[in-house]
Amino acid sequence: MQALRMTWRSLASFYEELLLQIGVSILWWITGGVFAGAAVWLAWLTLRTGDLWLVPLVAIPAGPATAALANVTFQTSRDLRAGVDLFWAGFRSHWRRALAVNALSMVMLALILLNQGFYYAQGNTILHVFSFFWVYLAFFWITAQFYLFPVLVGMEHPSVKEALKMTAVLAFANPFYSIAFLVLAALLTGISIAVAPLLLLAWPAVMSLMGQHSLKMFVEQAAARRPVPPVK
């Protein structure tokens, strides 16, 4: 299973640069990741009330820190030199685009959840069933977030529009991988919550590495499918 293999590679990459990954995980929390953590906490609290659509907006300020973390894990996932300096370099060079791309992405997720809640609340059976389409859409858009910042920092000429477009294509073009990927990410997240130090010291870097290794795999697969021009 590809998703399981990419998860294993991510854990191996984390272990190989253990001190660095712990360091940048802590920095992620300090420089903005706390907003993403607050969004997850609020999602749990509002799960039964149906007001989930507002929750993604809380995570918007985490964009620059997530791009900075992705700048480090991009190197790590490709066995290149990485250091804490890359975190700060990524933060400085990407913070505007990262904030914009995260804002647009979280607003999109909020609108998807708002539509899901609206159709689910309707008495009409057909409209009620249609709400599951929005659940499906939310599922894949959440998966897309793992690819979003690896795509952004990996672009030769970073673009908010192109990063969102490519991220959406990756998530929806690989549905079975996305399902398995999100299940494994949720499992690791549950373990990290149960063992609190892991949430602080490991979870951010591992999630970022999972996105990086997945993106790397997709790029390699696309290159392998590209037809080789005939030799003259």
Instruction: Give the total residue count for the chain.
Output: 232
Domain count, the chain: 1
Retrieve residue 150's tokens: 């690896």
What is this structure's pTM? 0.92
User: Does 73 fall in a domain?
Assistant: yes
Is residue 63 in a domain?
Answer: yes
Q: Is the dihedral of CA 16, 10, 31, 160 positive or negative?
A: positive
- Is 17 among the domain residues? yes
Rounded to the nearest integer, the mean pLDDT of the chain is 90
Residue 230 lies in a domain: no
Q: Decide if pLDDT at 229 tops 50.
A: yes
For residue 65, being part of any structural domain is answered with yes
Q: Is the pLDDT of residue 172 over 70?
A: yes
Report if residue 231 sits inside a domain.
Answer: no
Q: Which domain holds residue 117?
A: 2-215
Reported as a pLDDT band with limits 50, 70 and 90, residue 49 is low
pLDDT at 232: 43
194 HSE (CA, 13 A, CB side): 6
Asked, for residue 182, whether it belongs to a domain, the answer is yes
Q: Are 200 and 21 in contact (CB under 8 A)?
A: no
